[in-house]
Amino acid sequence: MADDAFARLIRSAGVTETNLGGNSDFIGSVNGRVPYPLETWAPEHCGQLDMAIDRDGRWFHEGSEIKRSELVSLFAGLLRKESDGAFYLVTPVEKVEVNVALHPLMVVDASQLHDSETGEESLGLVLNTGGIFKLSPETGLHSEARAAGAAFVCLPHGLTALFTRAAWYRLVEMADDTGCIVSGGERYSLL
């Protein structure tokens, strides 16, 4: 039987996820779970997997869209961009390259978060993979010329997330008269 890199990757990631446990309320991970320790994993490069992420953040394997959100979420948690500019799915035992058309993730919604302990208001950015990040100086708010000036944010492991049109409009609705939004006490211009 032929070696199936896709199946091996899923098995390997599943074992790792079980060992880490899960927390669906975790803010600051790309898939809403406790993040994998990708920075500590240094497996050998195993080649390119016929997997791609298109400009709309849709994931494909061998030309067919991966429709199971659980799989997309799992893979997003294993994704990192390395110094060579390429994106890789990484497990403790293997690393495979993935083609990314523009940004690997999408911001699909934005809403106000209230920290009941500090009273601080921040803007929560919901990703297409189930994760939530607070808009902060670490994520920033950057303009993407290759997407007609749409905004994107920077995430851990070299990842980025582009705003969908609907999420951008929602952000614009939240802006004040000067075209700025406030998150965690910081002002961000949408202009």
78, 100, 122 — which closes off a domain? 100
> Is 119 found in the same domain as 159?
yes
Total structural domains within the chain: 2
Structural contact between residues 72 and 59, judged by C-beta atoms closer than 8 angstroms: yes
Kindly state whether residues 94 and 154 are assigned to the same domain.
no
Q: For residues 46 and 65, state if they share a domain.
A: yes
- pTM equals 0.84
Same domain, 50 and 79: yes
Indicate whether 149 and 68 sit together in one domain.
Answer: no
Give me the long-range contacts of 17-24 (CB less than 8 A, separation at least 24): 17/74, 17/77
Cα gap 28→7, rounded to integer Å:
28
Q: Dump pLDDT digits (tens) for 62-116.
A: 999 999 999 999 999 999 999 999 999 999 999 999 999 999 999 999 988 887 7
pLDDT of residue 137: 95
pLDDT the model gives residue 40: 93
Specify the CATH number for the domain of residue 73: 3.10.540.10
Are both 93 and 117 inside the same structural domain?
no
pLDDT for position 34: 87
* Predicted pLDDT of residue 1: 34
Report CA torsion sign: 52, 88, 79, 15.
positive
Residues 90, 125, single domain; the answer is: no
Residues 88 and 16 in one domain: yes
Same domain (yes/no): 45, 120:
no
Question: For residue range 123-160, what is the model confidence (pLDDT) as tens digits?
Answer: 999 999 999 999 999 999 999 999 888 899 999 999 99
Are 56 and 122 in a shared domain?
no
| Domain span at 53 | 5-100
How far apart CA 58 and CA 37 sit, in angstroms, is 24
The reply to whether 62 and 120 lie within a common domain is no
Residues 151 and 76 occupy one common structural domain: no
Residues 14-53 pLDDT 10s: 433 333 333 335 678 899 888 899 999 999 998 888 999 9
Eight-class DSSP state of 34? P
Look at residue 15 in the predicted model and tell me its pLDDT. 38
Residue 157, domain CATH: 2.30.270.10
